[in-house]
Homo-oligomer: A and B are copies of this chain.
């Protein structure tokens, strides 16, 4: 089974493509996490509660390494434990690190984060493409050997991404060159290689789905960053697979935003997490299964 098959099967089983982003920020934690223990310890308790809520509902979570690395080795130890806990709960874990380096160093990242006996044991990793093919191959090789995957940055959700990604060269933008490279690798590996394409670029999302039919997509930028369900409709294959859609702050800190703030308040932040996940599942249902797959079990949240 390739990574694409793994993630698509999880999307089918859960009946939705929601990817919960684990981006803990000290200043946004509910009050009960803001005193007593160290910040990394609070992150662990907070993320584990989110994982408990998310595991029955969604296919995958995406911890953002930066928020853990910010607290040094102690933060990274906690990230490691959170990844392990999420996988025990049956979730696919995408390590959002945007890592990359030249050949033999890329091998160390790949083996460490995705390898069979790796310390991190993630299912997938986000990878930055600026260093080119020989920096990406070690990740592909390691991923393909273990049903793991990588998501190469193609068209990122931030406005400034245009600076390099949209430069025109050889009649097409740089991101298109990266996308064509991704498709080659995805086709060759049966889907070990995917792409990050922001929900904030609806037009390019359609173009890039077309250019990369074999690649699983990771679509950030939904919700807080402005991407809507209609914007991301083109990301999916006809059977509703092919993409996972990330929402981080809009879910994990849902208690800070209406209507959840009024409905649950900070004391019931877990209910806000659950309600916001179900709300997002409902929103995506409008666009997700254009042709429901025969074995779809999309029944969790009507």
A interface list, Cβ under 8 A from B? 23, 25, 64, 66-67, 69-80, 96, 98-103, 105-106, 108-109, 111-113, 118-120, 128-136, 153, 156-165, 167-170, 174, 177-178, 181
Contact = CB atoms under 8 A, between A and B. Distances in A.
A13 to B, nearest CB: 29
Contacts of A79: 73
A252 B60 CA distance: 41
A175 to B, nearest CB: 9
**Chain A contact residues: helix, strand, loop or mixed:** helix
Number of copies of this chain that the complex holds: 2
Contact of A70 (B64, B98, B119): B119
Please list the 3 inter-chain residue pairs (A to B) with the smallest Cβ-Cβ separation, ordered nearest first.
Answer: A73-B77, A72-B119, A134-B160
A106 B128 CA distance: 14
A176 to B, nearest CB: 11
A167 B169 contact: yes
B64 A105 contact: yes
B131 A158 contact: yes
Contacts of A74: 73, 77, 119
A283 to B, nearest CB: 22
A10 B253 CA distance: 45
9 contacts: A23-B105, A69-B112, A73-B79, A76-B76, A102-B156, A128-B130, A129-B164, A130-B156, A135-B156
